[in-house]
Structure 1
Amino acid sequence: MEALEVQPWRDFWKAVGAPAKDIANSWRAFAARHARAAAPLITTLAQCAARHRYTALFLIAERTGMGLCALRTLADRRADSDVRYDDDDDPWELRELPRDERDGLPAPPYTSSRPHTGFPQLPLGGLRVVESTRGVQGPLATSVLQALGAHVIRIEQPGGDPSRGAAPLAGGVSARFAALNAGKEIRQTDIRTAAGRSAGAETVAETDVFLHTWAPGEAARLRLDEEDLARARHTVRTPDGTPAPSLVTLLDVLGGHLAAESVLAALLARESGAATGRLRVDSSLLGASRGLLRPLLRGLDEAPGTQPAEAGLVAPTAEGLIAVGAGAGTTPAELATAPTAAWLGRLHAAGIPARAVVTDLAALPQDPALSAYFTHDGCARPTPPWSFA
């Protein structure tokens, strides 16, 4: 189940018959599920849900705005129509929108009326990106574009994004929020109002990229879909191995990078002349999950001769942990006989890749091998891993 706000959560569990006290007490833990890699459910809520059939719960969820879906097997996913097995199985879709003479669009190719200013030493210097996103996927995508030189304008609700206050804080702002949004220009706009939608369209009007993470159909409902924005100003380019819990929201992170990749593909198509009109890119967490599951969806895990070659291992030494590459011929029992430093010397001399494992995440930014990739500003934030000359 999924709820981004407390009201659908409260209405759903009230309709299911859960006690009001337990509903209130359960929300805080559920709201922190991503940061804690767990979403414990109060026993009474689970018991109340168990009294209903899934179809009944689904109807209640539809009525209250709660997101609900059944867990599905790999075989179920393989049967889906969007799972393809060719080389063009991209996790995002790029398409050129049809031109409509009634829109008064200029003849192709499109040229922006806005001068390209900014940081020309970066590939996207001078480009302008507007986002209306929340969570991880969208903000991460635009932070990648920002790191490549784009100027990013972030539209937030009046009072700011609620996730600004999520612990842990650094300088009065959520460290998680800062890691995804530092350096972006913030504009507070209530797009649920006519004035806010007009202001949003005006913000997008002179931009190269508009990226949002709204639910399907929400852009059309708000009258901020590509056709609406094109009529507002005609320089718009685009609307847009045992498993264990991890504090890295892997699917969101991959989804963010794939969203950035899809935007870059659209910009490249525009600049190269391969596309002459407005472009729309659609990406999703489902597409990212398809990328992660691709070998399993294709059944490669079951085919003979497709098992991975000898892998390395991570094992304790007499002092710490060590990660050893394939071909070392060592066993965990042997590694436990000497300190990590001694094993590193022996393995490197033999040409075997090996590295001490850092188990304290807070120590990673101070690791000499990694310190160059972090910026310290109340908290440690990753810096772009590239440079251009």
Structure 2
Amino acid sequence: MSTAEETGTRTDPARTARAVAGRLLRHTLAGLPGGDADPPRWTVGGTGPVGVDAGDERAAQAACGVMHVHGRATGAPAPLTAPYVSAVTGVLAAQGATAALLARDRGRPPLRTGTSLAQGALLTVTQYLAAATATAPDGDAPPPEPAPGLATLVTADAARVEIETLDPLAWAGFWRRLGVPSRTAGRGWLPFQSRFGTAVCPLPPELPAAVLAHPLEAVRRAGAEHGVSVAVIGPATTAPALAPWTAEPAAPAPAPHLPPAVPAPGAPPLAGVRIVESARRVQGPLAGHVLRMLGADVVRVEPPGGDPQRALPPVAAGCSVRFSALNHGKTVVEADLTTPAGRAATAELAAGADVFLHNWAPGKDRALALDADALHALNPRLVHASASGFGTALGPVPPLGTDYLAQVHGGLAAALRPADEPPAPSLMTVTDVLGGLVLAQAVLAGLLARERTGRGGRVTSSLLSAAALVPRAGHRAVLTPLDRPLPTADGLLHLGAEARRRPDAVARAVGAPTADAVADRLRSRTTREWLTRLRAAGLPSVAVRTDLAALAADPAFARAVLPPDAHLPYARPAAPWTFTEDTSP
């Protein structure tokens, strides 16, 4: 797809996002009747509705809290050195354009849509923002900032490894095999499991010491014996050669299907679309969350008593705010999928829906008789959407399909950290978020294909296929001191893209004798003073966000972040798209 909005110059901060969006739109429209004729108008900006000076990849990371969350594990805000926010924003742009196409095919007037790097960055910190701003019960003090720490371990023969298990018994057995007493191993279980929500993993020192006393082969044997996945982190940044998702049409419907009612003017583009979601953790629920923000009615299937993740701290108004941040606004139906009655009830829901979405382990849907073939027999126009950790890319018995192992196998553990740091996954859930967004785009692609062909279908994606979408160089990034957050008299400042390209101009603007002296000079005045000077010199820069709790009250974010209210007692990003009727000729 080629539009004026997709093009850009070398200095355009949103160029990478537009390239990602263009790739996804081409994948969405490949082989469809009508192809990419008369595409909708879509734009990607830098700051969007956020009132900060700079909106390039790194500035968006700094201003919107991404550097803060990613840097928690190592003790200070730090940049992700691959254009992760640009990839996220590119998926959002593709979602907006595809939703606009779908609405037009359903009878709506043409829509123009837009998003921005700042809105993409904010979406990536949704859970962390909710946790930081949750209204605490009366009398409760705010939770303390978690201690830093990575989960990456080093063996006696210098292999860097990431381990994964969701089973506390497997965890205990693995460490016992390496000589760690159960009580000591138990002290590491909570920080290890909590790292998905806190972005830190302060393990007891006895655990990394035990791994350091054993060669890689012994660690692998311990993992194999107890069902703990062990992945070796290499220095390569290479992305897997994977399509973002795969699609397969269902058999033609046996009878014509009446077209849906045309959405009312001003309604969101997915108004009238019904989605049944049976998903856990982040990847699947985030896909449903995004589709709900686009206007779909999402029905969430949970086990009797509700999803156990509802109890994860911090809790406000009776529910985990991390869980609520991705699941509010969905209708909840309880069904026990281990019983024939629960499976039948879920199949009945899917029979009356447009989409059935899950992120179960590969093959589980078939075991439950809720796979695409079974549900298409009930509803040939259904879009059956599934996501996993690795799909079939790593063979028939893949490792556990979680975020951090996907970063390792997807080359991001090296690509996201600079060359002067050992490779290690970010403990921010980068592939969970991106994987959920890719799954949502696959759903939109399936709905558009159904609208144009009359046939439902099956779409599948994975965390690994999402990781492959992040652009990266063939080598690890080398950062200069001016590429990192810079201390001022009262905080941290991050130079915008133009300022980083012109270090001598920065030196002149701040009164430093040379570029090498800029960092020392910045410590003498406040962040606000320096931002004013840099703006006046044509070198727009941003303050580094280090307090997510204050973000919702910052006037610069008033149009991009919704504050806590009586219904949802935590802050959350507003929907990251604009949709307006396109009246241009």
Map of 1:350 onto structure 2: 537
Identity fraction in percent: 40
Q: Which of 219, 229, 237 is the equivalent residue of 2:365?
A: 219
Map of 1:147 onto structure 2: 293
Map of 1:180 onto structure 2: 326
How far apart in 2 are the matches of 1:203 and 1:16? 48
Map of 1:106 onto structure 2: 254
Contact 1:37–1:245, Cα closer than 8 Å, also in 2: no
> For the structure 1 residues 119 and 93, does the alpha-carbon distance in structure 2 shift closer, same or farther, using more than 3 Å as the test?
farther
Structure 2 counterpart of 1:57, one-letter code? A
Question: 1:29 and 2:191 equivalent?
Answer: yes
Deviation per residue, 1:203-252 (Å, 9 max, x gap): 11111111111001111111111111122344422244447886631121
Question: 1:323 and 2:488 equivalent?
Answer: no
Q: Which of 359, 365, 381 is the equivalent residue of 2:572?
A: 381
> For the structure 1 residues 226 and 118, does the alpha-carbon distance in structure 2 shift closer, same or farther, using more than 3 Å as the test?
farther
Q: Which of 444, 464, 485 is the equivalent residue of 1:314?
A: 485
Question: 1:262 and 2:442 equivalent?
Answer: yes
Contact 1:373–1:383, Cα closer than 8 Å, also in 2: yes
Contact 1:314–1:322, Cα closer than 8 Å, also in 2: yes
Structure 2 counterpart of 1:96, one-letter code? P
Considering Cα pairs closer than 8 Å and 6+ residues apart, tell me whether 1 or 2 has the greater RCO.
2
Map of 2:384 onto structure 1: 238
Deviation at 1:259, TM superposition (A): 1.2
Question: 1:69 and 2:224 equivalent?
Answer: no
Structure 2 counterpart of 1:161, one-letter code? D
Deviation at 1:148, TM superposition (A): 0.4
Question: 1:162 and 2:162 equivalent?
Answer: no
Report matched runs for 1:79-90 at 5 Å: 83-84=240-241, 90=243
Map of 1:198 onto structure 2: 344
How far apart in 2 are the matches of 1:44 and 1:355? 39
Map of 2:249 onto structure 1: 96
Report matched runs for 1:282-293 at 5 Å: 282-292=460-470
Deviation at 1:45, TM superposition (A): 9.6
Structure 2 counterpart of 1:138, one-letter code? G
Map of 1:4 onto structure 2: 166
Deviation at 1:129, TM superposition (A): 1.0
Question: 1:370 and 2:557 equivalent?
Answer: yes
Deviation per residue, 1:174-223 (Å, 9 max, x gap): 11111111111111111111111111111111111111110011111111
Task: Between 134-143 and 366-375, report the one with greater CA deviation.
Answer: 366-375
Deviation at 1:16, TM superposition (A): 7.6
Contact 1:120–1:126, Cα closer than 8 Å, also in 2: no
Contact 1:266–1:281, Cα closer than 8 Å, also in 2: yes
Structure 1 counterpart of 2:492, one-letter code? L
Secondary structure of 1:329 counterpart: helix
Q: Which of 417, 425, 433 is the equivalent residue of 1:253?
A: 433
How far apart in 2 are the matches of 1:45 and 1:360? 30
Deviation at 1:20, TM superposition (A): 4.8
How far apart in 2 are the matches of 1:119 and 1:27? 52
> For the structure 1 residues 71 and 244, does the alpha-carbon distance in structure 2 shift closer, same or farther, using more than 3 Å as the test?
closer
Secondary structure of 1:94 counterpart: strand
Contact 1:119–1:126, Cα closer than 8 Å, also in 2: no
Secondary structure of 2:299 counterpart: strand
> For the structure 1 residues 156 and 309, does the alpha-carbon distance in structure 2 shift closer, same or farther, using more than 3 Å as the test?
same
Secondary structure of 1:70 counterpart: strand
Deviation per residue, 1:79-138 (Å, 9 max, x gap): xxx933xxxx532222224x28xxxx425xx73687677996111111011111111111
- Structure 2, gaps ≥5 residues long: 1-162, 387-417, 508-517, 581-585
> For the structure 1 residues 245 and 224, does the alpha-carbon distance in structure 2 shift closer, same or farther, using more than 3 Å as the test?
closer
How far apart in 1 are the matches of 2:337 and 2:169? 19
Deviation per residue, 1:25-53 (Å, 9 max, x gap): 44333321212324455536974995983
How far apart in 1 are the matches of 2:553 and 2:330? 26
How far apart in 2 are the matches of 1:18 and 1:310? 40
- Structure 1, gaps ≥5 residues long: none
How far apart in 1 are the matches of 2:480 and 2:193? 41
Provide the TM-score with structure 2 as the length reference. Answer: 0.55
Structure 2 counterpart of 1:258, one-letter code? V
> For the structure 1 residues 11 and 55, does the alpha-carbon distance in structure 2 shift closer, same or farther, using more than 3 Å as the test?
closer
How far apart in 1 are the matches of 2:544 and 2:553? 14
Structure 2 counterpart of 1:387, one-letter code? T
Contact 2:385–2:460, Cα closer than 8 Å, also in 1: no
Question: 1:279 and 2:457 equivalent?
Answer: yes
Structure 1 counterpart of 2:247, one-letter code? L
Deviation at 1:380, TM superposition (A): 1.0
Q: CA RMSD in A?
A: 3.4
